[in-house]
Amino acid sequence: MLQTKVKIRPMKEKSKASGECADIADQLQRAFYGSAWHGPALMELLEDVDAVTAAAKPLAGVHSIWELLLHVAAWDEAALTRLRGSKCQPSGDANFPPVTKPDEAAWRKAVAAAKHMHDRLVKAVSALPDERLRDRVPGKRYDFYHMLHGIVQHELYHAGQIAILKKVRTARALPLP
């Protein structure tokens, strides 16, 4: 079986821009692409994941790696929509989009789409004036500062889930002693 490895982008040098928005954009990049303090970022964890592994559900009642990636991208898009001034609260299939065609081409497309959405979010955050961070998110009781830090935390949380799913899948593939 052909295995397609996910290629991550090298971490860009931190922008020369300063301020809180630049720092948040940097943390978004680190959580997604790498050079995070805690360990492997989302894309680093996906480097050796193929479509079969991404679509697998090694634990009952748990989302697949693929579903988690689509979910992260959905929330990057939700954050971008909110930054533009619109209310957005993904639910149902918009929150956890279904995997419709689990093959290598679709997996590569899903990864590319997630990267593209993430890059758009980082660009938007980088361009924000710091004063916007204290504005209330449309339809919410919290501000953009809280939301954007939450997006970083959200991506790291799901990266941790992906790391565990990979370990479970590997452990189950090993022969019993």
The CATH number assigned to the domain holding 163 equals: 1.20.120.450
Give residue 145's domain range. 20-173
In sequence order, the 6+-apart residues with CB closer than 8 A to the CB of 47 are 5, 6, 7, 8
Place of tokens 């748990």: 62
- Does the residue 96 lie in any domain? yes
- Does the residue 79 lie in any domain? yes
Q: Which of 148, 157, 147, 158 is nearest to 126 (CA)?
A: 148
- Does the residue 7 lie in any domain? no
Cα–Cα distances in Å, from 50 out to 43, 84, 98, 104, 145? 13, 34, 17, 7, 35
- Does the residue 159 lie in any domain? yes
Give per-residue pLDDT as tens, 43-70: 999 999 999 999 999 889 999 999 999 9
pLDDT band for position 10 (cuts 50, 70, 90): very low
The total number of structural domains in the chain stands at: 1
pLDDT computed for residue 37 by the predictor = 85
- Does the residue 14 lie in any domain? no
pLDDT computed for residue 175 by the predictor = 60
- Does the residue 134 lie in any domain? yes
Percent of the chain past pLDDT 70, that is, above it, reads 88
Give per-residue pLDDT as tens, 78-136: 999 999 999 999 999 999 999 999 999 999 999 999 999 999 999 999 999 999 999 99
pLDDT computed for residue 7 by the predictor = 52
Report the predicted TM-score, pTM, of the whole model to 2 decimal places.
Answer: 0.88
How many helices (H) does the chain have, and how many strands (E)? 6, 0
- Does the residue 13 lie in any domain? no
pLDDT computed for residue 145 by the predictor = 98
- Does the residue 12 lie in any domain? no
pLDDT computed for residue 38 by the predictor = 86
**Lowest-pLDDT choice from 22-26, 85-89, 115-119, 166-170:** 166-170
